[in-house]
Amino acid sequence: MLKPGDVVFYARSPASEFCDAVEQVIPNNSYFHVALAVSERSLVEATPEGVLERTLKDSLDDNQPGIVEILEVKGIPESTILKAATWCRSKVGFPYNDLFSADLMNSDDLESYYCSQLITEAFRGVEMHWPTHTLNFLNCDGNLIEFWIEYFRKRGRPQVPQGDVGSHPGQLRRSPVLVLKMRILPTKMNLNTLKESKLLELSSHFVGGNHVEFVSNRQFPVMEPRSGRKLATWHYANAEQVDLVVKTAKNAQKTWAGSTWMERNEVLKKTAELLKTHCDDIAYWECLSNGKPISEAKADVLSCVDTFNFYSGIAHDLLGHHIPLDPTRYAYTRRLPIGVVAAIGAWNYPIQTCTWKTAPALACGNSIIYKPSPLSPVTALILGEILKTAGLPDGVFNVIQGDAETAQHLIHHDDVTKVSFTGSIPTGKTIMAACAERNIKPVTMELGGKSALIVFEDADVDSGVACAMMANFYSQGQVCSNASKVLVHKGVLKEFLEKLVKKTKELKIGDPLKDETQVGAHISEVHRTRVEGYINGAINEGATKICGGDRIQVPGLENGYYLSPCILTDITPNMTVYKEEIFGAVLLIIPFDTEEEAVGIANDTDMGLAAGLVTKDLAKSYRISEQLNAGNVYVNTFNDVSPLVPFGGIGESGFGRENGVAVLEHYTQLKSVFVNTGACPNPF
């Protein structure tokens, strides 16, 4: 976060009477301390204990500011800035100027400095354009502050030096050559009062173990789908800020990679415990920023508990192998961390997608930079705080907000050594190309799908209806593995359709925060309109709407993005809805006669994320599962998931896997070592 010459200002809320008194002496001021960065990891500050060099973290822990601002010096030669930092470092060990005297002498007649004086002296002779300042110890009523009267009396100075020449952090902050680089909010998020906290006011990013606000001219609204109202305005990270985050992650990864497997496992296990403890409040924020029903949000958080628990015990799968070759030769393999992982998440399962990438990456000893979707950017920040509370070293897990431009900066960075992406097929292709554009780096892709569910004639119809609804109506149909094509044998079509329509019409659409709600709000107005476009387009192409597809007005949330689940029939292969991923609650009924016909329709796509079938015939389930071109096949269920089982697609749906032991291949690199225990024979 730091570079030599950065000026670091500390603002409210001070935790001591001294800091409070310093703050009062400039009207409308909240700054009580200032320091100078002398390296990427440390700063020098004048404190009542003397001039100290320490890490930013140690300084924050000691000073307990409410806000920290890091400013760059602009318009001054780099050599001059570095000279100031070097001079400042040379004063480490000098005492504190407890008299604030301009002659740099303290009450013991020793050369000394107070905090802002150390900065002005470091830049002495440089055109810093500090505003003039005289020492002021008066309150707003024009009377001497009692604290300062007693302060100077104790030091043998009966007179308070009111009006003497001096400096103050609040005065230095106004220099026109200081440009704000970032704000840090070091006060921890209170996990015990998450629902009541002003979480959206904390910051947009989580970097180096702190909630951070970058200065950027590119903003985006954080929207609440359930009401359509704007919750906050946040900022995208730019190229320079991405570079800072990557460097932070790279430095932190070295320490984390050197930790033992048991140390890593303890952090992941503690993370699981904290997720479980705070499940309800995390689900509240997931619901608020995503629009899915609170019952689903809670299930998502609990699935994250399972994921962290699973990877907390994965160490034995990271072991290498010993391979004897002959009596004097052997080889062994080591599975090593891959480095800095850039993970780009989707908006439909915000915290679950983040967890699926984060837990295995951390278990393998990597650091991670997670970029959530701007449409659901909140809960990744909560996970950052939970990981920090669980003992994860600062900088190992980071969250940056961004759009496609930010993602490109992240992917192209030379120090990013692995990319994991969940999202649409077009974006995946762009990212894959970018991963080979400047430097080759491995990438895994979990992309979209156009899946099918086959309901055979021997199926239990009620079970088939349940599977069809599970395959289409979770999260308002915004699920990549959804089977929008529901293939129903003509022998059970009438009964199936009657029961499906009845159950679909009974679904409770409403406020996602209410426990009884089964269908919540779409992620955005734009996306709801897109789903409506698919429905209307299908009708124009000859499909029949059986039910749903209507905008719903929820009392008190009239501007929310609600749409009733839709069922369409009379679907033909030339229709857009037959070929494209809808990503909404639009279920297509397609009758069939034979197994061959059903399998042909199910496989009639370039995508291959999921497929399913409903049957009582075990032999048939095995036979059909082998024929379906999909990375995930569901028999008498759909959209089932477990951290123990790999998840991913084939074809246009991507490659690589999330979950299970298989994912460890993607977050590690294998090193083979050959050893000859005897003398090396010369073949020449």
Instruction: Please list the active-site residues.
Output: 446
Pairing status of strand 210-214 against strand 485-489: unpaired
For residue 553, the 8-state DSSP code is: -
Rounded distance, CA 210 to CA 216, Å? 18
Q: Which residues contact 675 (CB under 8 A, 6 or more apart)?
A: 329, 330, 331, 332
| 35 CB burial (10 A radius; 0-12, 13-18, 19+) | buried
> Taking Cα atoms as reference points, which of 186, 146, 167, 142 lies closest to residue 12?
186
Instruction: Report residue 647: phi and psi, to 5°.
Output: -135, 130
Instruction: Report residue 2: phi and psi, to 5°.
Output: -100, 155
Peptide bond into 373 cis (omega under 30): no
> Taking Cα atoms as reference points, which of 494, 496, 505 lies closest to residue 455?
496
Strand partners, 551: 563
Can you give the length of the chain in residues? 684
Question: Coil, strand, or helix at residue 512?
Answer: coil
Long-range (24+ apart) CB contacts under 8 A made by 123-129 are 123/84, 126/76, 126/80, 126/84, 127/76, 127/177, 128/73, 128/76, 128/175, 128/177, 129/175, 129/176, 129/177
| Inter-residue contact 176 to 349 (CB < 8 Å) | no
Pairing status of strand 322-326 against strand 329-337: antiparallel
* Single-letter residue type at 322: H
> Taking Cα atoms as reference points, which of 315, 324, 361 lies closest to residue 669?
361
Location of structure tokens 């409070």: 20
Rounded distance, CA 56 to CA 637, Å? 52
Rounded distance, CA 547 to CA 585, Å? 11
Q: Where are the alpha helices (DSSP H) in 471-590?
A: 493-505, 525-540, 576-579
For residue 50, the 8-state DSSP code is: E
Tokens standing for residue 518: 């089964």
Tokens standing for residue 508: 């409770």
Tokens standing for residue 220: 């985006």
Beta strand residue intervals within 205-358, DSSP E: 205-207, 210-214, 219-224, 229-235, 322-326, 329-337, 340-344
